[in-house]
Structures are given as C-alpha cells and as structure tokens.
Structure 1
Amino acid sequence: MARMKFICDAERCIECNGCVTACKNEHEVPWGVNRRRVVTINDGVPGERSISVACMHCSDAPCMAVCPVQCFYRTEEGVVLHDKDICIGCGYCSYACPFGAPQFPGEGTFGVRGKMDKCTFCAGGPEPNGSQAEFEKYGRNRLAEGKLPACAEMCSTKALLAGDGDVIADIFRTRVIQRGKGAEVWGWGTAYGTQAKAGV
C-alpha cells in the first residue's frame, strides 16, 4: 500500500501561492484557515527560498499523541485525518504540530474556536466518500476519485509533489542529481550536517 507524502522542492517554488488558492477553492476552506501556506526564508536577501507547508501526515504524528479524545486517525494510505464530530477544540494538536497544520477556523461551519481544521491530503474524512456531509466538514475527497491533492496538481513549477512517498522521493532525488548538486542542496547541511557528501 502506498504511503502518501508531500515534498516541496525549494529550488522550484516561486512563491506564487497557487497551491494555497487551489486548496481554499477546492474545499471551500473557512475564512481564517489556511490548510496550506507558503513560507519564505531569508526574504529579500541572497539565498531566499520558499516552501509550501501543510500537514506532513507524519508516520509518528504528534497531534495523534496529544489528542485527549483521540479524534486523529491514520488511513491505510498513511494520511493523518481527524474526526470533527469527536474533536473538542482543545487546541493541543496545534501546539504539538511542528508545521502548524491544525488550526481554529475564524468562522464557518463550526463557528469561532470550534473544531480544529487541517489538511486532509484531499482524502475527506470519516463520512461516506463523496457525501455532502463529508464535503461540508472536510472538503472534496479527491483520493477516492483517483486524483492527487489539488495543491500539487495546480503547482505551476511542479515544486510541490504529492503521492506515494517512494515515488516522489525518487523524482526529487533525480532532480537533485540532474542539477549536479548533492550536499549543496538547500537545507541539506542543516538536516545532515556540513560534512554530508553528494549522493549520500
């Protein structure tokens, strides 16, 4: 079974926010919530990079660990979802998540500071696939339709990749090799130390 993941190629992201707009439009995301956002590091100086950030659907998700009512669950594809009917809106998940994925909606279906909202990897929720209840709470279930998340499909530079973790890792690895970079890849030294070698 595929393990669904996101990868954002910082060398390709142009900070157009197409992914953010596609997500909000596809799911009618409530005002005040951005399931996906573009973060720019070193803004306006040499070495500036932008990356698209959302729920990373962690293998060992901290939001699942801290939820007192256990509203978070993982699908067979590895997508971390939550049940808004169980959620009590305590906000522990938003404090635990290093990516700031779970958020309180400013207004909308569940009102001010109601149930948490987060990226669903376009996989809907616990309601029947394609139902009106599922769409109202979680947005469109594109995975059930055999499609990838709207954010990745709308990325004009294909910086944002979504799908089977092994497949998108191979795509990214191929890009890095074709660029002739290894240890010089943005963020590589931070993640693996400055002594990392190309191809490792």
Structure 2
Amino acid sequence: MARMKFICDTERCIECNGCVTACKNENEVPWGVNRRRVVTVNDGIIGQEKSVSVACMHCTDAPCMAVCPVDCFYRTDEGVVLHDKDICIGCGYCSLACPFGAPQFETKGAFGTRSKMDKCTFCSGGPEENGSVAEFEKYGRNRLAEGKLPLCAEMCSTKALIGGDSEVISSIFNQRVTTREKNGKYPGGQAFGWSTAYGGPGTAEPTPTPADKIPGAQ
C-alpha cells in the first residue's frame, strides 16, 4: 500500500504561490485558512534565499493525533492524516502541537469567531462518502478517489513540490540531488531553467537560449 507524502525541493521553488492558489481554488478553502503556504528565509539575500511550500506533512507519528482530546484525527490506508469535523471541538491543541502549523481555525462571522479546525487533506476528502456533496463542503475535493494527485503538486510550475507515494518521490528527489552534486551548477546541476528543461551538452557552459542567437539581444 502506498504511503502518501509531500517533498518540496527548495532549489526549485521560486515562491510563485501557484500551489497556494491551486489548493484554495480546488478545495474552496474556508476564509482565513491557508492549507498550504510558501515560507521564504533570507529573503532578498542573493545566494542565500530559499523558499519552501509548507502544508500538513501527514506524519507517520503525527503529534496532532496524540494531543487531540476527542480523537477526531485518523490515518487512512494510504497514510494520509485526516480529521472528522463532526467530532472536532475546536480546542486548538492540534494547532499548538503541529510543528508545521497545519491545523488552523476556520473563522465565522464578522468578528472571526473560532469554529472547527481545518487542514490539508492531501486532496483525499474526509470520512463522508467519496465524491459526495457533504464531503466537498467540509473537506474539499477528493482527488485521490479519482485516481489523481493533489492539485498543488500537479500545478507546480518548476516541479519543486512533488506529492505521491513516499518511495517514488524520495527516489525522484535523491536523483535530483545526485545529479546536482555530480554536475555542479552547469549544465545538469541547474535547479531549473533552459538547460534543465531542454538539455544540453555536458560542458561547463549552459545551453544557449534563443536570445543568445539574436544580435544585440543581450
């Protein structure tokens, strides 16, 4: 059985927030909640800036499950950590325990009254019937039941964010790291760009772009 996980490659993330927008649109995420967000460290410092897309990591030993006083959290056969909003009392313990800040309060009304908790579902819905209206209204789209992966990962323009079976995505990430270490910055070691997308000779120079061939374009 597959064990679903996310990996975000910080060498590829360009802080476009496409994953954030895709998640909110696909799942009609409640106001005030960001199931996925992009965090940038060393912002503006050339050569040191790194961005990472963060959501629920669906931990094998999830602290949110450990602290919930009503046991509303559960793990699916695919390893996805979900919660039952009908049982949730909105105490917020899971939000305090989660190192990624994944569980968040929904806000209701003009003054933002706290309600049930909401979190990333790996686009796998909730305890209601797969594909039902009730499931979508409470948890969003159940793409896993449709044989699809989370839209945030599918929409990532640089493929920095990858989601799926842990063994498969780990293999992809390990291959990227090995390629970078072997080839350096150019040409194969580029995180993204023309050389990576379209390939080039194994030399120390990047593959020329169309602009390089136009006189006066530089």
1:153 alignment partner in structure 2: 154
SS in 2 for 1:114: strand
- Partner amino acid, structure 1, of 2:180: R
SS in structure 1 at match of 2:114: coil
Quick check: 1:126–1:134 contact (8 Å CA) kept in 2? yes
* Corresponding residue of 2:14: 14
Once the two structures are TM-superposed, the CA of residue 180 in structure 1 deviates from its matched residue by 1.5
CA–CA separation in structure 1 for the residues paired with 2:81 and 2:58 = 5
Which stretches of structure 1, 4 residues or longer, exceed 2 Å deviation after superposition? none
Rounded to whole Å, the distance in 1 between the matches of 2:125 and 2:170 is 24
Equivalence for 2:3: 3
**Which secondary structure state, in structure 1, belongs to the residue aligned with residue 118 of structure 2?**
coil
- Structure-to-structure mapping, 1:62-81, within 5 angstroms: 62-81=63-82
- Counterparts of residues 66-105 of structure 1 (less than 5 Å): 66-105=67-106
State how far apart, in whole Å, the 2-side matches of 1:98 and 1:129 are.
29
Partner of residue 39, structure 2: 39
Question: Normalising by structure 2, what TM-score?
Answer: 0.81
Deviations 1:120-166 (A, max 9, x none): 00000000000000000000000000000010000000000000001
Q: CA deviation at 1:102?
A: 0.2
Q: Report the equivalent of 1:49.
A: 50
- For 1:187, the equivalent position in structure 2 comes to none
Aligned to 2:210: none
The one of the two structures with greater contact order (alpha-carbon pairs below 8 A, sep at least 6) is 1
- Distance in 2 separating the partners of 1:153 and 1:112: 34
| Offset at residue 13 of structure 1 (A) | 0.2
Relative to structure 2, which stretch is displaced further, 45-54 or 92-101?
A: 45-54
The one-letter code of the counterpart of 2:17 is N
Instruction: Give, in angstroms, the shift of residue 106 of structure 1.
Output: 2.1
Tell me, in whole angstroms, the C-alpha distance in 2 between the residues paired with 1:58 and 1:87: 19
**Which residue of 1 is the match for residue 27 of structure 2?**
27
Aligned residue for 2:65, secondary structure, equals helix
- Equivalent residue for 2:173? 172
Deviation at 1:107, TM superposition (A): 3.0
What does the per-residue CA deviation read over 1:144-197, in whole Å, with 9 as the maximum and x for residues that have no partner?
A: 00000010000000000000001000000000111126xxxxxxxxxxxxxxxx
Unaligned runs of 5+ in 2: 183-218
Structure index of larger Rg: 2
Provide the rounded CA distance (Å) in 2 between the counterparts of 1:78 and 1:114: 26
Q: Is the 8 A contact 1:19 1:150 kept in 2?
A: yes
Alpha-carbon shift at residue 112 of structure 1 (Å): 2.7
The TM-score, its normalising length taken from structure 1, stands at 0.88
TM-superposed CA distance for 1:28, in Å, is 0.4
Which amino acid is the alignment partner of residue 50 of structure 1? Answer: S
- Measure, in 1, the Cα distance between the counterparts of 2:69 and 2:44: 42
Aligned pairs, number: 180
Task: Supply the distance in 2 between the matched residues of 1:112 and 1:7 (Cα, whole angstroms).
Answer: 34
* CA drift at 1:31: 1.0
**CA RMSD of superposed structures (Å):** 1.3
Partner Cα separation in structure 2 for residue 101 and residue 17 of structure 1: 17
Deviations 1:83-117 (A, max 9, x none): 00000000000000000000001238xx7311000
Q: Which amino acid aligns with 2:174?
A: R
